[in-house]
Homo-oligomer: A and B are copies of this chain.
Amino acid sequence: MNIADAAKHTGLSSKTIRYYEQQQIIPPAKRGDNGYRQYDKEQLERLLFIKRARALGFSLSDSHELLLISQDSERTSAAVKQKAERHLHTVNQQIEQLQQMRDVLEGVVGQCLGDDQAHCPILDKLTQG
């Protein structure tokens, strides 16, 4: 299976897959006689694992570590839970920050008439704090 098929099966782009290999997020793919990368089920599973971790917002580095942990028979769920809880914490912080932005934005957008006048509460907010 060539990289384009692996891309279709995983929903990643060929470029992204090569990038993951270059960054050593996944082990290097085997090569055919023509030098093309070859993908088997095992490699596809690794790619999907990374994709799912990324979809939950984990960094590539964290996704990589989680993949290694998942392959470690000596692992403990405590180690995984700790990483997930930390990530959950940062996600919650991001949400709070964005919600504060949204609240302020909704406030000033609601006050702005949006007409052809120069006066604008949005600019007032940015000018005066």
Contacts and interface: CB of A to CB of B under 8 A. Distances in A.
A30 interface: no
B76 A88 contact: no
A98 B101 contact: no
Given A117-B76, A118-B76, A126 B49 contact: yes
So how many copies of this chain end up in the complex?
Answer: 2
A84 to B, nearest CB: 5
Contacts of A57: 98, 101, 105
B118 A73 contact: yes
Interface residues of A, number: 52
A123 interface: yes
B123 A108 contact: no
**A-B CB proximity, top 10 nearest:** A77-B120, A81-B114, A81-B112, A88-B105, A57-B101, A76-B116, A78-B114, A80-B120, A70-B123, A95-B98
19 contacts: A48-B129, A49-B127, A52-B126, A53-B126, A55-B101, A56-B104, A56-B126, A66-B126, A69-B123, A75-B118, A76-B116, A77-B114, A77-B116, A77-B120, A78-B114, A80-B112, A87-B105, A88-B102, A88-B105
